[in-house]
Structure 1
């Protein structure tokens, strides 16, 4: 689990960020909040967060200076700047100070999670995660695949799958397609067809029973999908399989 510090002087923005991280409480824990740059530096030293969401425009010490001070003593801490101003100079300085990400307010949940995910991948170090767990896109995709592999026989929704990995449906849909080249729906269909092929060859069950066991809503839908992707109906393919076995 990643420990998160919110360095933000706007109450509404802090509340918005807390709500996002609460939705993904198995992945992130908000361990503290800072209302200005000096407070951020102090709390970073006391709380040792893995990730800091840092507002640029704060009193006492601005976000850039606070971020630089934190990086000097804790270089593996992921710091993502958060600002309402789309100014090139801020982005340039963020790179100069070797910070990890840059968000433009108001950022969507998907953008925030994607920025964190990208930063985690970029660090490439298990030291960033206190539990030394595998992290990153590959882990999320693997979790989605494992979930589908386990529950393909029942009716699956994107919302259910997203909830199982504690990310939003939009985020995992985009990530899964980017990493695998197929949609989650495509993967579900692939897994179901694979099991159906095995059952047609090895099980004496009727086609309707196989369709139900593999998660298809009804036999008509099963027949359509099966023929589209194999070129044969389930019965036609079963006959060919048995004919091959007898030769």
Structure 2
């Protein structure tokens, strides 16, 4: 679904150039309206919805800074990217303090515009994912974590990375994991590592240190102690008994 854009600039040729470039970028974006100044844009915004506003800072009647301040008084949150020239950066700083998403410098280069809009789209996608996780059932979150554990090499798994995979705080994920599976995340991960090490012990000729490293243990002694605690025998004894 395309995201909608409102262009606000007192120079028509600038708006035309921006619209042409945005269309050329082939991003899921569409310019749906243009305004010549902040006051005109404010009136339009009160009656219409738009995902993103790209506004010049220097404009007659109502400049970009005043426009952004007035926007903040509306109940609907609007994403804004401001445009300025190099010697107006103090205006940009003021705009950023009022909640502006990003800024571009004139003359607006195609590569800079593309990077800015792609960054905004990525932010939108991330925010949507976080919202989806917040609204989903805890069990579905755990299912996604289990899928992450299944597809990720054991030597690369950490609680922090698992939490990031579902956009969640690590400590909260740890609590949720215990509630849903009745075991700690670290204990579940240890079981996965021991099961994989048993498979490697039975089906390969890898050395103990190599197996330990493959399943996520940098220390061979720690691996051996964990293996014996869970299986009742050392890795070497397990391999010999199988033979």
The structure whose RCO (Cα within 8 Å, separation 6+) is larger is 1
Greater Cα radius of gyration, structure 1 or 2: 2
TM-score, length-scaled by structure 1 = 0.47
TM-score, normalised by the number of residues in structure 2? 0.48
